[in-house]
Amino acid sequence: MNEAMKKPVIEVNGIGEETAKQLNGLRIFTVGDLLEHFPFRYEDYQLKDLHDVKHEERVTVSGIVQSEPSVRYFGKKKNRLSFRFLVNQVLITVTFFNRAFLKSQIAVGSELTITGKWDQHRMTITGSELNRGGEQKEQTIAPIYSVSGKLTTKAIRKFIYQAMNQFGNEINEILPQELLQTYKIPTKKEALSRLHFPPNAESMKHARRRMVYEEFLLFQLKMQAFRKANRDRTNGRALPISREEIEHFIKQLPFPLTAAQKRVVDEIMQDIQSSYRMNRLLQGDVGSGKTVVAAVCMYAVICAGYQAALMVPTEILAEQHVQSLKSLLEPFEIRVELLSGSVKGKKRAERLAMLESGELSLVVGTHALIQDDVLFHNLGLVITDEQHRFGVEQRRVLRDKGENPDVLFMTATPIPRTLAISVFGDMDVSIIDEMPAGRKQIETYWAKPDILERVLDFIEKELLAGRQAYVICPLIEESEKLDVQNAIDVHMILDQHFKGKWKVGLMHGRLHPSEKDAVMESFSQNETQILVSTTVVEVGVNVPNATVMVIYDAERFGLAQLHQLRGRVGRGEAQSYCILLADPKSEVGKERMKIMTETNDGFVLSERDLELRGPGDFFGAKQSGLPDFKIADVVHDYRALEVARQDAVNLIHSKEFWEDKSYEGLRRYIEEQGVLNGQKID
């Protein structure tokens, strides 16, 4: 950005010290910040036909008052005013809260224009604005800004207007002419002006498109520059991989690898063999066979004389991985051990010593792996499973334990492409998009909770056929204690119901690790037929004989999580079932349950979930790692994001970009990000 844009906001006429301070509170420090304080929405004063308005949408209508307004008071300050209103032959109710003073302006037979939120079921508008007469306002779409303290939207509009007058001519174009022409988008100055003072909706959208593209392009350029810098810097190690040894190992697996598994193994091997440090994301749906891929890669690294570490989020998962890796790798005389919170005292000291001496070549663990006293002899490969559960910081700590080990992040949460390329824009991505042959689709049903009896009958039928069932209990956010209580209650009900016939186990996060082990062991031996659990079984648990997954209060879960849970069944030969007990109230909630019954494809689900809930919700609050875009929205604008990414890739690798004058603005931006000289990659 150029000099004028970097001036403190106080240089705008009309902004004094006090106002500047308040603007600072909104993270507006410079003139540029002020001009890029975009409206978070627009009030649309264009008159609309109520038939075209969706439930809960904001609307402006004009009509004739049909009844004297009645006012009700609730206590001293609260009141509700309402009256009947005829809009284009449709009789509706208009309600205003705490604005009894409007009463004098509302006379039967007079014409008014009302803006507010439309409730389709009650045929009511909850008003936010009232104007006399049926005339449209002159500015039909008005920007609304996020404000705080004494600042109002009106005041901000005034400051921006003033800033545009004073500094508008100094707004530099950062995008080259060529891109403006290709996409037929306005200049930055034009775009800013139209966004803040939209002459009409069309022109505002056009302007928005430009700013969205710019924001995505800058972000992607930064990511791509990081990626290129990482690759150019040969700070990794080229491990000597023997293809024959790998082939031999793959041949003696109990099953042939799928084509997708082979492909990702190749991709990962190339990274490991090359001299740059691998930074790769491996995505694959539940059951797509990521563990085997991990095993092949770790085997290869260990054969080359290095150590490998696998970090997982839970104790249960760690133990399962140890089991399956042992069975795969011990025939090759590779030692696999666990390092987790439950490994203590002498045992722990022993394992630490073996890691440091290099005697132990493969360690699987939880957070215990990143403690200070864990030292490796020569760590060559770090794999994290369910990577989004680990913070960036934890991943960095583990990576720093070796000298630039290669890093592979595995996730079974199919991250929609749109999100993957924005969150993990600086990573390479491998995808296992194929299931091992012979997998049956899990039949999924959505039922109201009041047919629990029938669900229990269904479970019993499967048990009689020799199968087992999971029952997952309501998830109550923010409170593990309540989750546990729920599981205990449900366990009691089922235990009563099946008394003397079947054994019902109980699993939750508050059990001691050894108790958890016992419960899991009993279930996997089919000594327990039904396992009531909180979501601790979500990842990784593998009991192929289980064919029924019942999920209570399914509407409380994200689709990605429901899919994870559902993935606990369908792991054997038999047909499996998932029953979602849910009574969602909202349309979105119902839609989500329906989608679950319609597809088993995790990628399809995650795309739909993203559309329905938005990216923040997708991973759970604050975990998404998404950058804070000022105007762009990764869900809504995902096409633009893809275009911007492709453009960024092309630009970064083109000669013109680094030499041509027209790209100077973009180049300077990258330099300012400290990508090219900085060492930080994360």
Binding interface with ligand ADP (CB under 6 A): 255, 257-258, 261, 284, 286-292, 412, 436
What does 120-180 look like in DSSP terms, one character per residue? Answer: TTTTEEEEEEEEESSPPPSSSEEEE----TT--HHHHHHHHHHHHHHHGGG----S-HHHH
In sign, the C-alpha dihedral spanning 105, 109, 115, 118 is positive
| d(C-alpha 316, C-alpha 323), whole Å | 11
Q: How far is the CB of 328 from Mg ion (least distance, A)?
A: 13
CB 313 within 8 A of CB 386: yes
Part of the chain binding Mg ion (CB under 5 A), chosen from 38-46, 114-122, 282-290, 394-402: 282-290
Q: How far is the CB of 580 from ligand ADP (least distance, A)?
A: 21
Rounded to the nearest 10°, the torsion over CA 241, 244, 249, 251 is 150
Nearer to ligand ADP by Cβ, of 1 and 257: the residue is 257
267 φ, ψ (degrees, to nearest 5)? -60, -45
Nearer to Mg ion by Cβ, of 568 and 645: the residue is 568
Nearer to ligand ADP by Cβ, of 292 and 427: the residue is 292
Nearer to ligand ADP by Cβ, of 168 and 436: the residue is 436
Helices and strands (DSSP H and E) totals, the chain: 24, 21
Nearer to ligand ADP by Cβ, of 288 and 533: the residue is 288
Q: How far is the CB of 249 from ligand ADP (least distance, A)?
A: 14
Nearer to ligand ADP by Cβ, of 134 and 436: the residue is 436
Nearer to Mg ion by Cβ, of 291 and 624: the residue is 291
Q: How far is the CB of 523 from Mg ion (least distance, A)?
A: 18
Tokens of 373: 């006293």
Q: Which residue type does 401 have?
A: K
In the list Mg ion, ligand ADP, none, the entry touching 388 (Cβ below 5 to 8 angstroms by class) is: none
For 267-358, where are the E strands, in sequence order?
279-284, 307-311, 336-339
Part of the chain binding Mg ion (CB under 5 A), chosen from 15-23, 157-165, 290-298, 621-629: 290-298
End-to-end CA distance of the chain: 25
Instruction: Write the burial class of residue 135 (CB in 10 Å: 0-12 exposed, 13-18 middle, 19+ buried).
Output: exposed
CB 402 within 8 A of CB 376: yes
Tokens of 222: 């930064």
Q: How far is the CB of 339 from ligand ADP (least distance, A)?
A: 20
Closest-CA residue to 398 (of 362, 374, 415)? 374
For 176-321, where are the E strands, in sequence order?
279-284, 307-311
Q: How far is the CB of 294 from Mg ion (least distance, A)?
A: 8
Q: How far is the CB of 324 from Mg ion (least distance, A)?
A: 9
Name the region of 82 (left: φ>0; alpha: ψ -120 to 50; beta: rest).
beta
In sign, the C-alpha dihedral spanning 382, 386, 388, 393 is negative
Q: How far is the CB of 432 from ligand ADP (least distance, A)?
A: 7
| d(C-alpha 668, C-alpha 645), whole Å | 18
What own/partner pairs with CB < 8 Å and gap ≥ 24 does 248-252 have?
249/296, 249/299, 249/300, 249/332, 250/296, 252/331
Count of residues making up the chain = 682
Part of the chain binding Mg ion (CB under 5 A), chosen from 196-204, 255-263, 287-295, 569-577: 287-295
Q: How far is the CB of 291 from Mg ion (least distance, A)?
A: 5
Which residue number is nearest to ligand ADP in terms of Cβ?
A: 289
Nearer to Mg ion by Cβ, of 39 and 284: the residue is 284
Edge-to-edge strands, sheet with 336-339: 336-339, 362-365, 307-311, 379-385, 406-411, 279-284, 428-432
In the list ligand ADP, Mg ion, none, the entry touching 225 (Cβ below 5 to 8 angstroms by class) is: none
Buried b (16+ CB within 10 A) or exposed e, 427-462: bbbbbbbebbeeeeebebebbeeeebeebbebbbeb
In the list ligand ADP, Mg ion, none, the entry touching 284 (Cβ below 5 to 8 angstroms by class) is: ligand ADP
Residues 195-254, interacting with Mg ion (CB under 5 A): none
CB 420 within 8 A of CB 241: no
In the list Mg ion, ligand ADP, none, the entry touching 436 (Cβ below 5 to 8 angstroms by class) is: ligand ADP
Nearer to Mg ion by Cβ, of 383 and 484: the residue is 383
Nearer to ligand ADP by Cβ, of 437 and 621: the residue is 437
In the list Mg ion, ligand ADP, none, the entry touching 292 (Cβ below 5 to 8 angstroms by class) is: ligand ADP
Q: How far is the CB of 439 from ligand ADP (least distance, A)?
A: 8
Nearer to ligand ADP by Cβ, of 482 and 574: the residue is 574
In the list ligand ADP, Mg ion, none, the entry touching 417 (Cβ below 5 to 8 angstroms by class) is: none
Which residue number is nearest to Mg ion in terms of Cβ?
A: 291
In the list Mg ion, ligand ADP, none, the entry touching 255 (Cβ below 5 to 8 angstroms by class) is: ligand ADP
Nearer to ligand ADP by Cβ, of 255 and 658: the residue is 255
Q: How far is the CB of 534 from ligand ADP (least distance, A)?
A: 20
In the list Mg ion, ligand ADP, none, the entry touching 340 (Cβ below 5 to 8 angstroms by class) is: none
Q: How far is the CB of 472 from ligand ADP (least distance, A)?
A: 17
In the list ligand ADP, Mg ion, none, the entry touching 313 (Cβ below 5 to 8 angstroms by class) is: none
Question: Which residues make up the interface to Mg ion (CB under 5 A)?
Answer: 290-291
